[in-house]
């Protein structure tokens, strides 16, 4: 069995294609892609933040103090054309035509005198279809400040002393006291993404060599010769299985280590401090626990992909089966990502979802070790069953000589 394992590993290490997917992709390409994504996202946010919006105020003369505040705001620039847009329709057309970015309609009956005491409905006209847009937020802030000044003036005109304004406007102040510590908080938000990243990596690390070791051998005509050696089918399949398992775990470990290095480098520049803080309290024991839970998942997925690969006649056929399989693996992970999903006596029985939820709990620091043990045992049993199916599969003539 170990002879088969050693030979498979040797061959795998000489296969540039598999090495690329299992080692190079996670070490270099994923972090580069993530960095590129983060760079593009921050660039668009920065551009949106630095954008200066051209504005037009209809009935500006009714609120000269407000007009002045907008005029002197660094993110707004007054429309300098000759046209006049005095209605919502005219402003909408102007926004659509790209003449202005935003229009504000102050109603004709607006009176900024403190004695007025009538609510006025203003309208802000802009294109709200962009996902990163600061224009409305900025205007809302300016309008709120202006409204607050009007309110103060009105209250003073009504004879309410300045000291009582706060209590009158906000009789009850509410504040939040969170019993969850920082780790639990971060863990809830980030914890679910760890299995979301790790489990597909385990699958990816398993499927590339599995295709080569099963369907690849059939296609190259080496499987038949291998079956003629005095090594039992069980030993052969276990040798192959160990190779697939080693590759899947290596792929996950390499990726996590490379991510840790990259996060380390990034936090060296001051970025990602919150991420670093979130993981600072996760101990070595917790990481070992995560690894222990991931192991039966790796066994499960490795047996599954190897069985599929042995069944397939050709490399291509095996690849065709791998697509739907990865979808099947994603579903239970996505279930664990659903809001408020937690480890219960019911979710503990759903394969992969249970491991995914347990990893989240470990990162949050709220894990129930009894439940983890149960999940480990259940997953290990399922993994063992799948592995024995794989061995039986490998002994069937109808599978080997399809």
Partner 1 sequence: MIAVNGLKKRFKLTKEAVSGNAHQDPRQRDGYFNSVEAVSFKCEGNEVLGLLGPNGAGKTTTLRMLSTALTPDDGSIHIAGHDIVKHPLAGRKAIGFLSGTTGLYGRLTAKENVEYFAKLHGLKGRALKSRCEYLFATLDMESFLDKRAEHLSTGMKQKTNIARAVVHEPQVVILDEPTTGLDIMTKQTIIQFIRMLKANQTPVVFSTHHLDEIALLCDRICLIDQGVSCFDGTIEQFKAVGDSNELNDAFLNIVNQGRAHV
Residue with Cβ nearer partner 1 (236 or 299): 236
Residue with Cβ nearer partner 1 (7 or 51): 7
- What tokens does 113 get? 């005198």
CB of 396 vs partner 1, minimal distance in Å? 11
CB of 24 vs partner 1, minimal distance in Å? 17
Residue with Cβ nearer partner 1 (220 or 316): 220
Going by C-alpha positions, the residue among 400, 362, 372, 365 that lies closest to residue 227 is 400
Residue with Cβ nearer partner 1 (7 or 43): 7
Is residue 63 within 8 A of residue 42, CB to CB? The reply is no
Q: Is 246 helix (H, G, I), strand (E, B) or coil?
A: helix
- Kindly state the DSSP code that residue 341 receives in the 8-state scheme: -
Is residue 393 within 8 A of residue 379, CB to CB? The reply is no
CB of 2 vs partner 1, minimal distance in Å? 10
Question: What is the binding site for partner 1 (CB under 8 A)?
Answer: 3-4, 7, 10-11, 14-15, 220-222, 224-232, 397-398, 400-401
Q: Which residues touch 369 (CB under 8 Å, ≥6 apart)?
A: none
Residue with Cβ nearer partner 1 (221 or 270): 221
CB of 11 vs partner 1, minimal distance in Å? 5
- What tokens does 303 get? 């047996």
Residue with Cβ nearer partner 1 (191 or 239): 239
CB of 27 vs partner 1, minimal distance in Å? 22
Residue with Cβ nearer partner 1 (242 or 295): 242
Identify the H or E element spanning 72: helix 64-72
Identify the H or E element spanning 126: strand 123-126
CB of 298 vs partner 1, minimal distance in Å? 24
How buried is residue 237: exposed, middle or buried, by Cβ count under 10 Å (0-12/13-18/19+)?
buried
Going by C-alpha positions, the residue among 325, 375, 327 that lies closest to residue 350 is 375
Residue ranges in 177-283 assigned as alpha helix (H): 182-190, 193-213, 215-220, 223-227, 233-268, 273-280
Cα torsion angle, 201, 207, 209, 210, sign: positive
Tell me whether strands 76-78 and 102-105 are parallel, antiparallel or unpaired.
unpaired
Residue with Cβ nearer partner 1 (45 or 232): 232
CB of 393 vs partner 1, minimal distance in Å? 16
CB of 132 vs partner 1, minimal distance in Å? 49
CB of 263 vs partner 1, minimal distance in Å? 35
Q: Which residues touch 191 (CB under 8 Å, ≥6 apart)?
A: 359, 360, 361, 362, 363, 364
Residue with Cβ nearer partner 1 (166 or 220): 220
Is residue 248 within 8 A of residue 205, CB to CB? The reply is yes
């Amino acid at each position: 069995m170990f002879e088969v394992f050693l030979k498979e590993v040797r061959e795998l290490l000489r296969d540039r294609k598999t090495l690329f997917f299992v080692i190079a992709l996670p070490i270099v390409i994923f972090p580069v892609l993530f960095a590129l994504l983060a760079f593009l996202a921050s660039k668009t946010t920065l551009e949106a933040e630095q954008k200066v919006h051209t504005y037009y105020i209809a009935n500006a003369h009714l609120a000269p103090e407000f007009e002045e505040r907008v005029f002197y705001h660094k993110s707004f620039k007054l429309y300098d054309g000759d046209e006049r847009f005095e209605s919502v329709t005219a402003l909408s057309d102007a926004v659509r035509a790209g003449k202005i970015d935003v229009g504000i309609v102050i109603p004709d009956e607006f009176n900024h005198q403190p004695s007025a005491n009538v609510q006025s409905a203003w309208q802000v006209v802009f294109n709200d279809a962009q996902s990163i847009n600061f224009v409305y937020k900025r205007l809302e802030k300016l309008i709120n400040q202006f409204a607050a000044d009007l309110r103060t003036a009105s209250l003073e005109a009504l004879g309410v002393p300045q000291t009582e304004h706060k209590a009158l406007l906000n009789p009850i102040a509410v504040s939040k006291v969170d019993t969850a510590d920082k780790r639990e908080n971060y863990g809830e938000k980030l914890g679910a993404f760890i299995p979301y990243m790790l489990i597909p990596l385990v699958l990816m690390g398993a499927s590339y060599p599995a295709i080569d070791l099963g369907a690849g051998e059939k296609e190259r005509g080496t499987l038949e010769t291998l079956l003629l050696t005095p090594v039992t089918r069980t030993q052969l399949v276990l040798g192959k299985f160990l190779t697939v398992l080693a590759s899947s775990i290596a792929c996950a470990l390499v990726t996590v280590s490379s991510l840790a290095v990259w996060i380390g480098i990034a936090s060296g520049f001051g970025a990602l401090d919150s991420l670093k803080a979130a993981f600072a309290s996760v101990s070595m024991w917790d990481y070992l626990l995560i690894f222990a839970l991931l192991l039966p998942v790796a066994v499960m997925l490795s047996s599954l992909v190897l069985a599929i690969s042995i069944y397939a006649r050709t490399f291509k056929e095996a690849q065709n089966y791998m697509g739907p399989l990865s979808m099947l693996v994603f579903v239970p992970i996505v279930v664990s990502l659903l809001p408020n999903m937690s480890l219960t006596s019911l979710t503990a029985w759903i394969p992969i979802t249970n491991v995914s939820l347990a990893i989240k709990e470990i990162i949050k620091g709220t894990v129930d070790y009894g439940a983890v043990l149960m999940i480990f045992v259940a997953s290990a049993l399922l993994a063992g069953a799948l592995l024995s199916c794989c061995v039986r599969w490998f002994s069937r003539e109808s599978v080997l000589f399809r």
